[in-house]
Amino acid sequence: MAESPDHISCQELVELVTGYLERALPPAETALFEQHLNFCEGCVWYVDQLRRTMAATGRLGADDIAAEDRDRLLAAFRGWPPS
């Protein structure tokens, strides 16, 4: 953590950003994080970059189920007698 407990540096903020976005920081660190964002445009942009990165990863999405894989599962289900 910071040498001075009353603020964090940009270099420290970039390592806390996941904890912040996951809402996992202790209240004191959350306060320091948000206080830093109040005066540092560069870190506001950095956090925005992280949020956009997360959204871009989300847009990769996932493959739809192939018909043959669905059929195979349903066939297996028919052969699965509930006791």
Binding site residues, another protein, CB under 8 A: 9-12, 14-15, 17-19, 22-24, 40-43, 45-46, 48-50, 52-54, 56-66, 69-70, 72-74, 76-78, 80-82
Residue 32 or 43: the one with the smaller Cβ distance to another protein is 43
Q: Shortest distance, CB of residue 31 to another protein, whole angstroms? A: 18
Nearest 5 degrees, angle CA 26-CA 17-CA 30?
Answer: 30
- In angstroms, what CA-CA distances link 71 with 7, 64, 75, 81? 59, 14, 6, 17
Q: Shortest distance, CB of residue 48 to another protein, whole angstroms? A: 6
The residues near 25 (Cβ < 8 Å, ≥ 6 apart) are 16, 19, 33
Q: Shortest distance, CB of residue 19 to another protein, whole angstroms? A: 6
